[in-house]
Each structure stands twice: as C-alpha cells, then as structure tokens.
Chains A and B, each alone.
Chain A
Amino acid sequence: MSSVASLHESELQHAGHDAQHEHHQQSFLTKYIFSQDHKTIAKQFLITGIIWAIVGALFSVLFRLQLGFPESSFPILEDILGKWAPGGKISPDFYYALVTMHGTILVFFVLTAGLSGTFANFLIPLQIGARDMASPFLNMLSYWFFFIGSIIMATSLFIQTGPASGGWTIYPPLSALSDAALGSVRGMDLWIISMAFFIISQLMGGLNYVSTVLNLRTKGMTMTRMPLTVWSLFFTAILGILSFPVLLSCVVLLFCDRNLGTSFYLSDIIIAGKVLPHEGGSPILFQHLFWFLGHPEVYIVVLPAMGLASEVISVNARKPIFGYVAMISSMLAIVALSLIVWAHHMFVSGMNPFLGAGFILFTLLIAVPSAIKVFNWLTTLWRGNIRFTPAMLFAIGFVSMFISGGLTGIFLGNAALDIQLHDTYFNIAHFHLVMGVAAFFSMFAGLYQWFPKMFGRFMNNTLGYIHFWITMVGAYLIFWPMHYSGLAGMPRRYYDYSNWESFKQFGGMNKFISIVVIIVFITQLMFVFNFFYSIWKGRKVREANPWDATTLEWTTPIRPGHGNWPGELPEVHRWPYDYSKDGKEFISQITPVGEEETGPHH
C-alpha cells in the first residue's frame, strides 16, 4: 500500500516511477500468480472462465443425453459418474443438479466473471491510456475472491449429496429445506458461500473499473472519445455495483432460513406429513430480491458483448461506428430500464395485473434502445469494406443471435403471452439465443480480435472459420426447434418427456438437438485447443497494429510490460472511429488533427 502515499504526493517522482517499472525484478509468483498487472489478471479471469465453460458445457451435454435418449443407457456414464448414473442412466437427482450447475456456472462464472472480468481488466487501462487500474491490489483480490468462490463451487460437485439442484434461480422452499432435495442438503450452503465470494469479487472489480474509467484517462481522452468497449464495460460495472449487493442480501436471508431457523421465505410447509415450524415467511419476497439482481444480470452479461461487437464490427468494416452517441445513450437507457423490470420474471406469481402492466410497459420499452443498437450495427456494416476475419464473423453472428433472441423477448415481455409460455422451452430458446449464445459469440469475437495483444501471437484462422460456421449453424439448430416445442407447452426442467402423449411428437426433435449439442461441444474443444496451442505456437505478431485499428492498445509494444507504455503515456487527439477518412485507411487516436482535415472533429 505504499503506492497510496506516492500516488497522492509526488508528481515530481513521476518520471522516476516509470523507470522503476522496467527494472522491477519479478519472481514467477508475483509475475504470474499474485500479479497486480491488469493484463495478467485478465488472463487469469479468462483461463478460469474457459475451464468453467468446458465444465458447464459438458454438463449440458450430459443432460442432453438424458433428454435426447431417455430410453437408452450409456454404461460409460456409470464408470465416470458412479452412483449418479446407475446402470448408465443419469439419475433424476443428478439431472437437476446438472441443470442447476449448468446455469449457475455459465451465467455467473463464465459470462459474468469470464467475460467482463477478462475484457474489463484487459481493455479498460489499455484503451483509455492508463498504466493500470485505480487499485491494482483490489484488482488482484477481485480475481482471488473469484478463485476461492470457484474452488468452493467445484468442491460442491464432489460432496456426497451432490451440488445444488434447485435450479440456478435457487427458489425457496426447494432451496431452503434440506429435506426437499438431495442438492439442498449441503450443496446449497456451498452454493451460497461460493456466491458470496463471487459477489465480493464482482464488487471489487466493478469499483475498480468505474473508478479507473472516471479517473485515469490519459490526456485528451474525454469521455466521448472512449471506444464503445470501454463505455459498455463502464455501464456493466455500474450495473453490477448496484445490483449484486441485493443478491447478497437475498442469499444472506436464505442462509439464515437454512441454518439459523428463521422464516424469511418459509411458511406453512408440510414435508412427509410433518408440519415445519416455519411461519410467516414469503417465497415471493425471495423472487423480488433475486430478480432485482437477476434481471440486471442479463444486461451485465450482454452489455460487454454489445461493446465488443461494436468495436470489432467498426474496425473490420473499416467504417466509423454508426451513431456513436446513440450507442452510448441506448446503453444508458438499457441500464436504467433494467433496474425496473425485474417483476416480468414473476408474472405467474399471482402478481396484481395492474402492477404487471407497468412492468410490461418498461420491459417492452427496452426493445427501443436494443433496436437502435441493432440498427446501428447494421448501418455500420452497410457498404463497409468488410474483412471477414473470424472475429468479424463472430461479431456479425452476435448481431444475428441478438436479433433472433430479442424478437422472442417481445413475446415473453407480455404478461398475456408469458403466462402461457412461462417455464417452457420457448423461454429456454429465448434467453439462450439473446444472452447465452450471443454473449459467447461476442466473447469469441473479442478473443480472436485481441488475442494478438494478449499473447503476441495470432490464433489459427482456418480453425477459427470452422469454429464459427459449426457454432453458428449449430446454435440455430439447437435453439430454433425449441420455440416450437415451447409453443406446444413443453415445460423446462423435466427429466423425461416420453410419458406425455402431447410431447411424444418431439422425441425425434429432442434426439436431433442432442446430437447437434455433442457436435457443437466438440467444436468448442477445438477452439480451446486452438487457444492454448496458439499461445505458444501461433503465428507471431510482427507489427504493433495488425488490424490497422485506431485505438490506444495498438500503440503499445507488441508485448507490453507492466505499465503498458514505455516512457510517456500517449496523448489522444480524436475519437476512436476515424476509419476511411480523407482517403486514409485509418487515423490513430494519437494522431493530431491535421490542418486540412475535413470535419467533423470528435
């Protein structure tokens, strides 16, 4: 913490400090493990996120085996899973655990920590011209709290009664009573403790991101000269700071109900003929608290995805982003609206219809800023000189997924329709496309785009193209058919549909979806191989700015050290989207505005 004093007082020492940077000796431990360099912390978030993504996706393959082949048994499953798959068939208890952990892992550990943890850490200081985060120490803690949370969640997978199994939304009373399900015995406690660490990690990270963006921008980098990636990560962090603490209160009360005999969420419950002493609680209270975070959470996932896609699309279309200010204001509108729409997850909870009408209105209003953003992405692509790199393909794929998934959001935002479609496969298709697959596509776009900056090498392009096309086609083949079964009323989270006359017709479709899931999963493993292989063996980056981009991260050395820029920080003279201007391919942000340069100057 000695940097506190030096930070505050000595402007004179500034030059000296930079020199110190370069000569600072680092051991393996301080360089790669307990590093305070934002770039290393970003990679730590990324690699932890990749491991979790493989686990989470593998779980979906396992439960898809049950859904696609409810009659068959796979002896190999018994060898691996033991008592969870007796006779090679996944047990119902384990099926629920798989579904729950798939959601928890992907929503929180991969698409929140893995996505904004990676890119906020990596891009914010590099793109605003800062040497590091406002508090590198807090930043390091942020990762290690995430790590501890991860270890606890991973531990819960191996305990005797299995991990939490009440769905990722952990609604009480199922999650509050250990007699209710196997996963509610100890798995649920571990889930809560793990999430508490995770929330603290997110808060420490978020505080840092906001404070860095507001305080550490380099000279000339006004707020309206920041790339949209930074804007989106900034809004994401604010949203996280405002909503994650409410989830913490929510799970603290749940923890008390489970372990201290309180009745916040429980009332009048009879298990196996025995009346429980809990009196006067309300499970609806839990839903309010949970969704007050839960809904902003989907924007915490999708806002960084929007930012990454905007940047990748603009760079690779060789055009300025269309409607820069509209992009920022629509993100602001999304942030504001996301905090007042949580009850649209609760239309079937017996809510007053007049109250519901208000939530419908705000929910549908989100379509406006979302549509503005889609319009701007499409107009940015329009007549662009498009370079179809894997990053660009994934960014375009993101727009496609966001449109397809977003349209069904308009259906589900209406209480009249939602009461029919609630908890059906229609809903699954909606949120997987709009926030799951879309956010993953953007994350892939970001990885292919910034991999050269992260590791000084390129990823393999051919594998990238194969990865894109199989994932793109596969994602639609998996989720598109689910709209139909959802409209027919097929409920989510069921173990076996083959006993229902009305859902038997979907047996073949379920089998088809499961086969595609396996193919897409193998393709993702190929991406992971490409990622790790390229770190050591990929084609080396020879020039500092391989994509001909305008932003500041490409003005650093190919492999920047801690402190990012040797010598002085760069000075910014223009906005980040001067592409194809005045006959020039691109004009870097550090180039001063020329005398005969045409306007407008941002």
Chain B
Amino acid sequence: MYSGAMEQKHKIHPYKFSLWLGIASILMMFAGLTSAVIVKRNQANWISYDIPQFFWWSSLAIIISSITLVLAAKAFTHRQMKQYRNLMAVTCVLGTAFLVLQSLGFYNMWQQGLTISSTSSVAFLYVLAGMHALHALGGLVALIVLYAKSYSRKQKMYSVLPIQLISLYWHFVGILWIYLLVFLIMIR
C-alpha cells in the first residue's frame, strides 16, 4: 500500500533498516546497564560469586538455535517447506529451552541465597539477564508465530522478509547474551 519503498530500488528494506535501528537502541540500553556495573564494580562492597552452570547450557541452546535458524532460512529460500518447518520447530524448542535454562539458573542462584536483594553484584545479574530474557521472549513469540503461519492454509508464504527480520533479531539476541555472559564472568 505504501509505494514509496518500491519506487526506490536496490536499497535496504525499510523494515530491516528499522530493525537495525531498534537493535542500536537496545544496545544503548544494555550499554547503560553494563556501564553502571563498571561504575559499581569500582566502589566498595562488591561481592564476587560463581555463575551457575545453567547459564553455560542456556548459551549452548541459544547458539544452536541460531544455527538451526540459519538453516531454516536457507531451506525457506530453496522452498523446501518440510525441512523449513522441522528446522523452525527445532529452533522454537531450543529458544524455549534457553528461557527455561535461564529460569533454572535464577532458581539455582536463589537457592544458594544469592537473591536479588542480597548484594548489588548479584542484583545486576538478575537485571541484565532478566532484561535480556524479556527481549528473548519477544523473539521467541515471533518465532512461534512464524512457525505456526507455515501451517496456515489461508496464507501462502512467499516473502523472505519475515524470516530475514526474525533471523536478524534472534541472532542479535543470541550475540547479546554471549556478550552479557562474558561481561558478567569478567566483572564478577
């Protein structure tokens, strides 16, 4: 309906561009939070703690989910719809696994007495990983919706745009988590 985009060829799609900008703004939010951690780290009362193993497993899950998503997108462009559906299903399961493992990680810390109100160093992990989990949840919902749509009879899917957009976002969420994990390990 909005023909402006069509009149200018060979350009990045406006939705994709908007998503990049959105990613920039999410990055700024986490930059704000991680710089706050650095400021706090240099003040008194910083208490170190061990990061539960669950967070390593969750990292593995989100990395593999990114790989399966790449393969799914590839299958989609080659119109191998059966393979596409299977790979999308695996991606959704791995995405869910990521969030479950994150929750288990929180639960594990809670049991050790490392609650959000215990000390600032721990509280930052809850806030960073919690805000990240919210972003991952948004991505997971989008993934599931896209997966469900591939079964829809009413709508035939030909455009590669939705899968490209969701891939971009999901990879970003994955990379963001790896960055946060490395950051938390280095700073704790």
Tell me the A residues contacting B by CB distance below 8 Å.
3-11, 14, 17-18, 20-21, 129-132, 134-136, 138, 203, 206-208, 210-212, 214-219, 241-246, 248-250, 252-253, 256, 260-264, 279-282, 285, 288-289, 292, 569
Contacts and interface: CB of A to CB of B under 8 A. Distances in A.
Nearest to A131: B2
Nearest to B160: A8
Interface residues of B, number: 47
A8 B160 CA distance: 9
Contacts of B17: 134, 211, 214-215
A218 B18 contact: no
A262 B116 contact: yes
Interface of B: 1-8, 11-15, 17-18, 21-22, 24-26, 28-33, 36, 39-40, 43-46, 116-117, 119-120, 123-124, 126-127, 131, 158-162
Contacts of B5: 7, 134, 215-216
B127 to A, nearest CB: 6
Given A245-B26, A256-B123, A3 B2 contact: yes
Contacts, number: 170
B6 A7 contact: yes
A262 B123 contact: yes
A273 to B, nearest CB: 22
Contact of A256 (B4, B13, B119, B127): B127
Given A207-B18, A208-B18, A264-B40, A280 B25 contact: no
Given A216-B4, A280-B45, 4 more contacts: A216-B5, A242-B28, A248-B29, A253-B36
A137 to B, nearest CB: 10
Contact of A249 (B13, B29, B44): B29
Contacts of A243: 28
Question: How would you classify the secondary structure of chain B's contact residues: helix, strand, loop or mixed?
Answer: helix
Contacts of A260: 116-117, 123
A565 to B, nearest CB: 10
Nearest to A133: B2
Given A3-B1, A3-B2, A8 B123 contact: no
Nearest to B39: A285
Given A207-B18, A263-B123, A215 B11 contact: yes
A270 to B, nearest CB: 17
Contacts of B131: 249, 252
A245 B35 CA distance: 13
B18 to A, nearest CB: 4
Contacts of B1: 3, 6-7, 17, 20-21, 131
Contacts of A261: 116-117
19 contacts: A5-B158, A130-B4, A132-B4, A134-B15, A138-B18, A206-B25, A216-B8, A216-B14, A219-B7, A241-B21, A245-B29, A246-B31, A252-B127, A253-B33, A256-B127, A260-B117, A280-B40, A280-B44, A282-B43
B4 A264 contact: no
Given A212-B14, A252-B131, A244 B25 contact: yes
B24 A242 contact: yes
B2 A4 contact: no
B14 A249 contact: no
A131 B117 contact: no
A246 B29 contact: yes
Contact of A8 (B29, B30, B161): B161
B45 A279 contact: yes
A248 B33 CA distance: 10
Contact of B32 (A129, A241, A249): A249
A281 B120 contact: yes
Contact of A241 (B24, B39, B40, B45): B24
Nearest to A562: B1
Contacts of B2: 3, 7, 130-132, 134, 136, 216
Given A3-B2, A216-B4, A261-B117, A292 B32 contact: yes
B15 A135 contact: yes
Contacts of A214: 17
